[in-house]
Structure 1
Amino acid sequence: MRLPNMSSNYLLAPIAESADYISGRDIKLTVLGSNSVGKTAMIVRFLTRRFIGDYESNTGNLYSRLVHVEGEQVSLQIQDTPGCVQVQEDFSQDVDFVSRCVQWADGFLLVYSITDYGSYQSIRSLHQHIRKLHPDPKAPVVIVANKGDLVHARQVQAEDGLQLANDLGALFLEISTSENCQDVSDVFQHLCKEVSKLQNGGNGEKRRASVISRPKSPNMQDLKRRFKQALSSKVKSSS
């Protein structure tokens, strides 16, 4: 199903942080997808445009910010992940990290690029990975087709993305991170709203908070280096 149009009023509004403030609830999102589909750019664009750069990031690519979600103050945490997890036989440690991210999160963004058909194909297996490992089968998922401005290099039609989302019971939106900040904001707005409804049990009664700790992140630069080495060795062996 396609993501519904959001109103001009932002669902997420920044609140002033202070040393004395302790957030009563977390919303934890994990962003998954192949390499070079724009996951990190999408996260940073959302935070820097909405929050004027007032956010925190650690070396493990966890981004956090205090926000309002439907009138309640929460701690929004967004976990970025490496894009090389498809080569599972060479990156068992990285797959283990992504698996812990799946178990940790409350909601998921699955991102592919419209210019890379392989990244589109990976979405189904990533969705299966989520449903296999996550303790809540109702954890919300939004599928995002990124780089919508590169129509001259399109390999995946919007109808294909929409059909995939319908097959998986997820929501869908095609966006351009580089051109439209509002679309990027809409993605995070809707996912936060869906997570909040799930945490409240759909009837206003808050569910018990998750006790799963955030996974320790591997070195992202090292992941990219080892990914390139693995691809190089595969090319040599095949030739």
Structure 2
Amino acid sequence: MRLPNMSGNFLLAPIPETADYFTVRDIKIAVFGASGVGKTAMIVRFLTKRFIGDYEANTGNLYSRLVVIEGEQTSLQIQDTPGCMKVEEDLLPAADTLRCVQWAEGFLLVYSITDHKSYEYVRHLHQHIRKVHSDSKIPIVIVANKGDLLHVRQVPSDSGIQLANELGCSFVEISTSESCQDVCETFHHLCKEISKVQSASTGERRRGSIIPRPKSPNMQDLKRRFKQALSPKVKASSTVA
């Protein structure tokens, strides 16, 4: 499953410092993968090459930036993760990893085409994400990085596509060192998918919270009921007299 062409219908640009905006949403992305697959290089290349000006790198490898996504100001937060995380199929991930999985709204699962173990690692990461997010709607993109190192390739493109189809994820093969455009489109695609899920969730909450408004009373009907209510009293008064 490959990423669709995102050009022309998705805007990701820095917020002007003098603009009078208010934040309407957050987008939280976590980038997972084994050590040495190029996660940090992807994030930094995206933030430094795509935008003019500085981004903010907080403690804990959390990168943040205000951007415009489809006309709305958005706080884009990208969590880098250490590649030495111990993930076993029958064990729970470390507490920090678990919190990161709970925090994120979308994931990039990165492996290197030169390292077959990093490819196998993606499946375990996906399993732990699904344990926390049982809803299949959460966007996940499998990223095969270092696509320029074809002479030492260990993982064929078909294997990445097959894994993505099996897990129900999007897939892209890129070279962070050679193509900034591919890196940007990968982040763009994930941001857009997260935005779709957020919009759908907001719409469901709004529909669920709508209380039908009582109809305005019909004045003619009220007059008729008032006359009917008075009629017995009038008749009773005449009889007594």
| TM-score, length-scaled by structure 1 | 0.79
The 5 Å alignment of 1:37-48 reads 37-48=37-48
Aligned counterparts, 1:152-171, within 5 A:
152-171=151-170
- Maintained 8 Å contact 2:33/2:109: yes
Distance 2:204 2:12 in 1: 19
Secondary structure of 2:43's counterpart equals helix
User: Match for 2:193: what amino acid?
Assistant: E
Percent identity for Structure 1 against Structure 2: 68
Q: Which moved more, 1:144-153 or 1:20-29?
A: 20-29
8 Å Cα contact 1:17-1:66 kept in structure 2: no
Higher Cα radius of gyration:
2
Q: Write out per-residue CA displacement over residues 132-184 of structure 1, whole angstroms, 9 at most, x where no aligned residue.
A: 01264311000000000011110001110000000000000000000000000
Report the Cα distance in structure 1 between the residues aligned to 2:192 and 2:18, rounded to whole angstroms: 25
1:2 aligned counterpart, secondary structure: coil
- For 1:150 and 1:7, locate their aligned partners in 2 and report how far apart those are by CA, in whole Å: 26
Residue 188 (structure 2) aligns with: 189
**SS at 1:112 equivalent:** strand
1:62 maps to amino acid:
L
Q: How much has 1:20 moved relative to structure 2? A: 7.1
Per the normalisation by structure 2, the TM-score is: 0.78
Query: Structure 1 runs of 4+ off > 3 angstroms?
Result: 17-22
Q: Flag structure 2 segments of 5+ consecutive residues without an equivalent.
A: 207-241
CA–CA separation in structure 1 for the residues paired with 2:130 and 2:18: 37
Give distance in 1, aligned partners of 2:100 and 2:185.
23
Gapped runs of 5+ residues in structure 1?
Answer: 209-239
Q: What is the identity, as a one-letter code, of the residue corresponding to 1:181?
A: C
| Helix, strand or coil at the partner of 1:29 | strand
* 1:205 equivalent in alignment to 2:203: yes
The whole-number CA distance in structure 2 between the counterparts of 1:132 and 1:199 is: 20
Residues in 1 aligned to 2:82 and 2:133: alpha-carbon distance in whole angstroms: 19
Residue 94 of structure 2 aligns to a residue whose secondary structure is helix
**TM-align CA RMSD:** 2.4
Deviates more, 1:129-138 or 1:46-55: 129-138
Aligned 8 A contact 2:14 2:66 in 1: yes
